[in-house]
Amino acid sequence: MQDDLVDRLEIQVRYADIDSYGHVNNAVFLSYFELGRINFLRKHISMESIENLSIVVARAEVDYISEVKLGDPLTCETWISSIGRTSLVFESLVRKGNKLAAKARITMVHVDGKGRPEPLPEFYRSLATHVGSIR
């Protein structure tokens, strides 16, 4: 995987992210992955295109590897692993320093005004040059 195809975002763990066990709640990781996707899109498509987004999460797969606590330094690495006719797949890793904390595969589908899948617009297709996979 080419390093320039991966977007990196530093994330600050907030007190509100912590659950009663003293670690980041599993649901909060979905917000971290969302921040990574938004940051990726900001770097690769126009702000106007981002403001007109009509993609929705169709599937979210998350593997939780190690716990994260308040004060841990986090980095979210995000890339697009595939682009289809109506969908695109983002993959992300959340790292705590050099240690993997979680990984995700999020499938997004482009929808019309009634919520039905429709072909991706050209600005998503332009992301095809940023497609890759890290295994």
Domain residue ranges of the chain, discontinuous segments joined by +: 3-129
Which residue from 53, 91, 52, 99 is spatially nearest to 72, judged by alpha carbons?
Answer: 99
- At 123 the pLDDT is 78
Residue 123 one-letter amino acid:
F
Strand partners, 79: 91
- At 3 the pLDDT is 56
Distance CA 81, CA 111 (A): 20
Q: Quick one: CATH architecture of 3-129? A: Roll (3.10)
Check: pTM over 0.85? Answer yes or no. Answer: yes
Q: Which residues contact 78 (CB under 8 A, 6 or more apart)?
A: 6, 7, 9, 33, 36, 37, 39, 40, 90, 91, 92
pLDDT over threshold 70, residue 135: no
